[in-house]
A and B are shown apart, each in its own frame.
Chain A
Amino acid sequence: MNSIEVHDLTKQFGAFTAVNHISFEVREGEIFGFLGANGAGKTTAIKMMSGLLQPTSGTAIIAGYDVRTQSKLIKRNIGYMSQRFSLYNDLTVFENMQLFGTIYKIPRKELKERIHTSLKELDMDQHANTLVEAIPLGWKQKLAFATAILHRPKIVFLDEPTSGVDPIVRREFWKLIYDTASTGVTILVTTHYMDEAEYCNRISIMAEGELKLIGTPDELKKKMAATTINDVFVKFVRR
């Protein structure tokens, strides 16, 4: 079953076309990588799929709901982690999770338990009452991810979740992604790191608002006669 179905999705800002007729599908439980240089249109595409931006034309069915008419239902069923860190720095770890959990209407008691379990998994339970501004960036990113999946969404959109994070935390972060995907949650992730692209079930490469390549990492390597995704990307850019 597909949890994301996108057809001819387009977004124009005035005369500028940020996303130009992209079409693709993502299966349930799949980790789908969105690659592309800065300004290729990845973030705009994600914003349209998560109901933050209305598309100019085309359709997108997310978790069975239409982005044009059912954005409220979509929002209830997705998690989103933006490019820049966007939890509240002046609230504690617990307060942040409590705030977002409550907005998603998780019952009070249930919410407390979920936060507790989640922090334990992250090995952060002793920092529940620490202000977010006081914890290191890597932890913040993991915390943002944990907060984004607190309400058990069907799909999680991750917009460059690991930029600026050290290699060890990146590895841990990807473990979190795998664990989450294994419970049937669909993950759509954008990244700059080509080694991370290898971890995805399928990847797509965007350029100038268009979806240029799509397939499993192996398929793309074969197609471009390359040994790594990095090579694929370099060859693609030179072409």
Chain B
Amino acid sequence: MRTILILIKKEFLQVFRNPLLIGILTVAPMVQFIIFPFCADYEIKVLHIAFIDNDHSTISQDLTHTFNASGYFISHGLVKNKKEAEKMMKHDKIDILVEFPHDFERSLYNNEPTQIAITANAINTMKAGIGTGYVQNIIGDYLNDFAQNNRPPQAPTKVSINISNVYWYNEQMNYKNLIVPGILVILVTLIGCYVTALNLVREKEIGTIEQVNVTPIRRWQFLLGKMIPFWILGISEFIIGLVIMKLVFGITVQGSIPMLLGCTAIYLLVMLGLGFFISSIADNQLQAMFIVLFLFIVFVLLSGLFTPTEGMPEWAHKINYLNPMSFFMNVIKKVVLKGTEVESLRTEFIVLSVMAVVINTGAVVSYKESSK
């Protein structure tokens, strides 16, 4: 017990004497916390648009003006032909091109099917998708009005399109609510996995671990002495994060806070164990960094933080069963946003616990092997 206490003391002394580490642990996450949610905003506020009007009718001109009024679009006016429009798109002058057919107005009055061509620059798929949605929405709205004004109400009209859910999907607050808790997850993961892996590998590099290995200390004592300080640091960061989340973004935890902290504590154990495991297979800090980075990217992409997991293929879902971050992400979503009751977290709780036991056992074993 005394051995573990002195090891914890040693680790804390070292952490607080290392200005770089203090920076990584405090400033970096806070900056990330404050800046990231504003940048990782999927709302598209400016779209450059141009038109090809083969109809030159009142309706097509009127519709063109509606785009200017919407506030989302910067209109580059009428373009003579497709060739010129392509050139503009190639040079990134416009994001979206709308082309009216030459019998557009006549078809509308005769209730005949007609087609408006919407061309989007899909280099940025997100922008193209949302931009096309806006365009469809504006045209849809306009044509609905048109139909109501020019037709008797009983006559059904073919041009009635309703794509209003595009706007709902893009509601600004929605992203922050998801991204901010997601950053909490990233924060805890980085401290758990990255900082501990680098810490242990550093001792290997400078040779201090040899001096420790030659003492009668037991492996688990040494690992515990490393784990507890970073575990405490991780939980503290998480709590600070929750406070910032409340104060800056006004997001309150809907569910049980003790449950949330409990799951975080277990998730941290998984990440600490993973960090130690990595440090035992890596020879230097650079190697450890690459391994952590690789796993981190896979974890984040699969976790559903930036992309919905529902759209992933079956095999990705299967891999996700091994991804602790995706389970923790679920916990965060459920507790922070939905406020679900404790029982519904049973799966996540059990899976994370099992992962913690497995990975830490692996870490102790592989640490033993590596120091033979």
What is A's interface to B at a CB cutoff of 8 Å?
A: 50-54, 72, 75-76, 78, 80, 82, 84-91, 95, 98-100, 102-105, 108, 131
Complex Cα gap A78–B208 (Å): 17
A88 interface neighbour in B2, B14, B210, Cβ under 8 Å: B14
Complex Cα gap A29–B81 (Å): 99
B208 touches A88 (CB 8 A): yes
Beyond A80-B214, A95-B10, 6 extra complex contacts between A and B, CB < 8 Å: A53-B372, A82-B210, A85-B207, A86-B207, A86-B211, A103-B3
Complex Cα gap A82–B210 (Å): 8
Complex Cα gap A84–B214 (Å): 14
A-B contact pairs, 25 of them (CB 8 A): A52-B214, A72-B216, A76-B216, A78-B214, A82-B207, A85-B207, A86-B207, A87-B208, A88-B14, A88-B208, A90-B18, A95-B10, A99-B7, A99-B10, A100-B211, A100-B215, A102-B2, A102-B6, A103-B6, A103-B212, A103-B215, A103-B217, A104-B216, A105-B3, A131-B17
A95 touches B13 (CB 8 A): yes
Mask of B1-44 contacts with A, CB within 8 angstroms, 1/0: 01100110010011001100000000000000000000000000
A54 touches B372 (CB 8 A): yes
Q: Which chain B residues border A90 with CB–CB below 8 Å?
A: 13-14, 17-18
A82 interface neighbour in B2, B14, B211, B217, Cβ under 8 Å: B211
Complex Cα gap A80–B211 (Å): 7
Chain A's closest residue to B214 (CB) is A80
Chain B's closest residue to A98 (CB) is B6
Complex Cα gap A53–B208 (Å): 16
Which of A84, A88, A95, A104 gathers the greatest number of chain B CB atoms within 10 Å?
Answer: A88
Q: How far is the CB of B22 from chain A (nearest CB, A)?
A: 12
Chain A's closest residue to B211 (CB) is A86
B18 touches A52 (CB 8 A): no
Q: Which chain A residues border B217 with CB–CB below 8 Å?
A: 103
A91 touches B14 (CB 8 A): yes
Q: Which chain B residues border A53 with CB–CB below 8 Å?
A: 372
Chain B interface bracket (under 10, 10 to 19, 20 to 34, 35 or more):
20 to 34
Chain B's closest residue to A157 (CB) is B214
A52 touches B10 (CB 8 A): no
Q: Which chain A residues border B211 with CB–CB below 8 Å?
A: 80, 82, 86-87, 100
B215 touches A86 (CB 8 A): no
B213 interfacial contact with A, CB 8 Å: yes
B216 touches A75 (CB 8 A): yes
B247 interfacial contact with A, CB 8 Å: no
Complex Cα gap A52–B217 (Å): 12
Q: Given A52-B213, A76-B216, A95-B10: A84 and B207 within 8 A (CB)?
A: yes
Q: Given A52-B210, A90-B17: A75 and B215 within 8 A (CB)?
A: yes
Q: How far is the CB of A137 from chain B (nearest CB, A)?
A: 15
Q: Which chain A residues border B13 with CB–CB below 8 Å?
A: 90-91, 95
Which of B207, B210, B212 gathers the greatest number of chain A CB atoms within 10 Å?
Answer: B210
Q: How far is the CB of A130 from chain B (nearest CB, A)?
A: 13
Complex Cα gap A72–B215 (Å): 8
Chain A's closest residue to B3 (CB) is A103
Q: Which chain A residues border B208 with CB–CB below 8 Å?
A: 86-88
B69 interfacial contact with A, CB 8 Å: no
Q: How far is the CB of A62 from chain B (nearest CB, A)?
A: 12
Q: Which chain A residues border B215 with CB–CB below 8 Å?
A: 75, 100, 103-104
Q: Which chain A residues border B210 with CB–CB below 8 Å?
A: 52, 82, 86
Q: How far is the CB of A83 from chain B (nearest CB, A)?
A: 8
Q: Which chain B residues border A89 with CB–CB below 8 Å?
A: 206
Complex Cα gap A82–B203 (Å): 14
Q: Given A75-B215, A103-B215, A104-B216: A86 and B206 within 8 A (CB)?
A: yes
Q: How far is the CB of A89 from chain B (nearest CB, A)?
A: 8
Q: Which chain B residues border A108 with CB–CB below 8 Å?
A: 2
In the A-B complex, the 3 residue pairs with the smallest Cβ-Cβ separation, listed nearest first, are A86-B211, A80-B214, A102-B6
Q: Which chain B residues border A75 with CB–CB below 8 Å?
A: 214-216
Chain A's closest residue to B213 (CB) is A52
Q: Which chain B residues border A87 with CB–CB below 8 Å?
A: 208, 211
Q: How far is the CB of B103 from chain A (nearest CB, A)?
A: 80
Q: Which chain A residues border B6 with CB–CB below 8 Å?
A: 98-99, 102-103
Chain A's closest residue to B217 (CB) is A103
Q: Which chain A residues border B17 with CB–CB below 8 Å?
A: 90, 131
Complex Cα gap A103–B14 (Å): 17
Which of A102, A103, A108 gathers the greatest number of chain B CB atoms within 10 Å?
Answer: A103
A88 touches B214 (CB 8 A): no
Complex Cα gap A141–B206 (Å): 15
Complex Cα gap A99–B208 (Å): 12
Q: Which chain B residues border A78 with CB–CB below 8 Å?
A: 214
Q: Which chain A residues border B206 with CB–CB below 8 Å?
A: 84, 86, 89
Chain A's closest residue to B215 (CB) is A103
Complex Cα gap A233–B120 (Å): 81
Q: How far is the CB of B250 from chain A (nearest CB, A)?
A: 40
Complex Cα gap A202–B18 (Å): 45
B:195-213 near A, CB below 8 Å: 206-208, 210-213
Q: Which chain A residues border B2 with CB–CB below 8 Å?
A: 102, 105, 108
Complex Cα gap A137–B211 (Å): 17
Q: How far is the CB of A65 from chain B (nearest CB, A)?
A: 12
Chain B's closest residue to A83 (CB) is B207
